[in-house]
Amino acid sequence: MSTDERRPEEAGFIFRGKAVPDKDRSIREEGGAERGSTAENTISIHIDEVMHSTAELRGLRGRDALVITEHRATFEGGEEFVFFTDVVSLGDDLIVRELGHRRATSEAREEIAETLRAAVERPLAERVRHAELIVTGEVTASRVLERPSPPRSEHDPEWGIARVAVRTVLKGKKPKGDVEVLFANSHDIAWYKSPKLHEGKRGIFLLHLAGQEDEDDHPRDLPRPIHKAIDPLDFLPADREADVRRLIDQEGGR
């Protein structure tokens, strides 16, 4: 499969490297049989840089990977490539299956790095795009609303309302005074990643109108429209402000 047919971020393990001739010779001499592969469709590649991986794979720089590929001859010249792969086996021998490759020119590496960065940021970019109001500030008070009896669900969010003192408006119309924000106080599995907006919480708030995305994302008896912050990305530490500003600028440029 060529890289034109598959987005780079869809490969589980992306790295830059080149063939290890001596190890290729030993693979041929030993028959090269590994999980259905043969000497003709495997090649040993030294990993010079890990560009995309899971947390478990980030420390593999400097190791050799046995790559199952249909393009062995392409890599035997010692040229450096970026490999788009999925891991077959992670043990004494690292075995990966090639999904695509590109010559590791500086232009290609920059393009791949930008594509991967955009993929990582895509969920946050979506929250930024749909937020009605984005502010920096601090929670000065919060209270948990009375729960319905019996709860409407075993995963009851235990709704609360936080009062946020706004310091800076990054997106949207500047509010008059503090902003009230609905949040889920529950630590149930359905809500434990949702921001807990208690007094002293300080950072960046990505605020959405309750009921705008889902009719069940707020108490049904609220007397007025209210902002909410219930997605894990709706509250960010203050040091992410530059990232949020950049995504807002990108949104404005579309």
In the structure, what pLDDT confidence band is assigned to residue 152 with cuts at 50, 70 and 90? low
Tens-place pLDDT, residues 222-238: 767 899 999 999 999 99
> Mean pLDDT over residues 115-136, rounded?
92
SS3 80: coil
Token pair belonging to 149: 């009896």
Domain co-membership, 132 together with 227: yes
- In the prediction, which pLDDT does 26 show? 54
Per DSSP bridges, beta strands 94-103 and 64-68 are parallel
- Domain assignment present for residue 117? The answer is no
Least confident of 85-99, 168-182, 196-210: 85-99
Tens-place pLDDT, residues 59-77: 889 999 999 999 999 999 8
Per DSSP bridges, beta strands 42-52 and 179-184 are unpaired
- Domain assignment present for residue 100? The answer is yes
Domain co-membership, 68 together with 163: no
CA-based nearest residue to 195, from 184, 204, 209 = 184
Domain co-membership, 167 together with 76: no
Domain co-membership, 133 together with 95: no
What are the backbone dihedrals phi and psi of residue 228, each rounded to the nearest 5 degrees, phi first?
A: -135, 155
Domain co-membership, 222 together with 144: yes
Cβ–Cβ contacts within 10 Å for residue 80, how many? 17
pLDDT surpassing 80 at residue 31: no
Share of the chain above pLDDT 70, in %: 80
Which CATH number characterizes residue 220's domain? 2.40.50.120
Q: How many domains does the chain have?
A: 2
SS3 37: strand
Domain co-membership, 131 together with 245: yes
Domain co-membership, 92 together with 165: no
Say what the pTM is.
0.67
Domain co-membership, 144 together with 98: no
SS3 212: coil
Higher pLDDT, 88 or 30: 88
Mean pLDDT of the chain: 85
Cα–Cα distance for residue pair 134/29, rounded to 1 Å? 62
What is the domain extent for residue 52? 3-104
Cα–Cα distance for residue pair 83/238, rounded to 1 Å? 36
- Domain assignment present for residue 109? The answer is no
Domain co-membership, 21 together with 135: no
- In the prediction, which pLDDT does 138 show? 98
- Domain assignment present for residue 37? The answer is yes
Domain co-membership, 132 together with 241: yes
pLDDT surpassing 90 at residue 153: no
